[in-house]
Amino acid sequence: MGLLDLIFGSKKKEKEKSHPQGSEAGAELTFLDNFIRIQSIGFFGQFKKSPSGEWIVGWSDSDPEGGIGGHRESGHGRYILYNTVEKKLILQGELERPNSADVANNGSFSVEDWHFGSELSGTFYVFSCSGEELVKKKFSANILNSAISDNGLLAICQTANARSGNDGNLLVGFRIKERDDVFSINPSTGWAEAYEFDEEDFRFGVVLKGVGTFFYGSDGVLLDPHKFDLARLRSNRYEISLIASQEIVKSDQSSLEQVEEALKASSKAIQAGTERNDYWKAIALKVNGLANERLGRDEDALAAFDSAIKLNPKIGVKRNANAIRKRLNNKSS
């Protein structure tokens, strides 16, 4: 069965289950917190509004006949597109497990299909407001999140885990008019919490909580990596700043200016809450020691290393500490 068959129904049984485009003029919509109900078609599910508020896309990851939701082996879920100006149900369709839809001001909408069974896989779709399939991208990995731009020109999705193959941890950008992905990368920015778009210059922005928003070009290249690195170092979330500073102090390519920034980040992290978490405190002390060692401040480095080893004997700086101790002893003798 084709996807348009699922939307409009090509067999008699499916025609009874699916309403053709525009058939529900005046359908009554009821909002219940983050859910909507359309009583006339027996639909109840989550929803998302377009930025203009004209369009609503809804989805229900459950079998309406069997009443089974979430992980399952059968029983297609449903999605709907509703126009609030016309007060009309524009279309509805079925996917195995529809999730996390998003809708643009022109009525184009994206939806993730999480698939039946226990395999790590998913398919990302973009449809027009008439139900035409504009994008279809299948992954042998879980889909983490996705979004469509305000005017329906761009879309993006991020995969998470994969048991095999190259589909895990991918950030994929789409130009919808071209009906294809324009880049597929392992993002240096990691997993984003949300997305922003620059439709004029075809840029894709990833929003990282506690860090900022950073844009990739249509070729998948991060546009300002220095800004990203600096924002991570200065983040108020010490787990983010410590990971970034650890990368700097371990790299031979890092400048002394960058090492100074890493030292500041580790000192700030120690003051910002790692005192309550021995795991992160040990990492902060390790970074502090490595930074001071790179900067030629042996006594400060040794003090940090010794404190880190007390918290975690396997933190990996015993050799550094012994080498510094030997140097200091040679100087004093």
The number of angstroms, rounded, from the C-alpha of 86 to the middle of its chain's C-alpha atoms is: 34
Pair (90, 195) in one structural domain: yes
Q: What is the pLDDT of residue 18?
A: 36
Average pLDDT over residues 19-40: 74
Average pLDDT over residues 196-220: 97
Chosen domain end from 193, 223, 253: 223
pLDDT at 314 over 90: yes
CA max distance for the chain:
95
Average pLDDT over residues 137-142: 96
Pair (28, 172) in one structural domain: yes
Return the CATH number at 326.
1.25.40
Q: What is the pLDDT of residue 272?
A: 75
* 44-49-53 Cα angle (round to 5): 130
Per-residue confidence at 26, pLDDT binned at 50, 70, 90? low
Rg of the chain in Å (alpha carbons): 26
Chosen domain end from 176, 202, 223: 223
Pair (198, 260) in one structural domain: no
pLDDT tens-digit map of 146-163: 999 999 999 999 999 888
Edge to edge, what strands does the sheet with 29-32 contain? 24-25, 88-95, 77-83, 55-60, 43-49, 35-38, 29-32
Please give the sequence-ordered ranges of beta strands (E in DSSP) within the chain, or none if there are none. 24-25, 29-32, 35-38, 43-49, 55-60, 77-83, 88-95, 98-103, 109-113, 122-127, 133-139, 143-148, 154-159, 171-175, 180-185, 194-198, 203-208, 212-216
pLDDT tens-digit map of 254-293: 999 999 999 999 998 888 766 678 899 999 999 999 999 9
Is 146 inside any structural domain? yes
Total domain count, the chain: 2
C-alpha span between 292 and 139 (Å, rounded): 45
Edge to edge, what strands does the sheet with 133-139 contain? 98-103, 109-113, 122-127, 133-139
Return the CATH number at 185.
2.130.10
Pair (61, 119) in one structural domain: yes
Is 195 inside any structural domain? yes
Per-residue confidence at 68, pLDDT binned at 50, 70, 90? confident
For residue 194, the enclosing domain spans 3-223
Q: Is the dihedral of CA 47, 50, 55, 57 positive or negative?
A: negative
Q: What is the pLDDT of residue 164?
A: 81
Per-residue confidence at 30, pLDDT binned at 50, 70, 90? very high
Pair (216, 289) in one structural domain: no
pLDDT at 24 over 60: no
Pair (208, 299) in one structural domain: no
Chosen domain end from 223, 253, 270: 223
Pair (219, 253) in one structural domain: no
Pair (184, 257) in one structural domain: no
Is 228 inside any structural domain? no
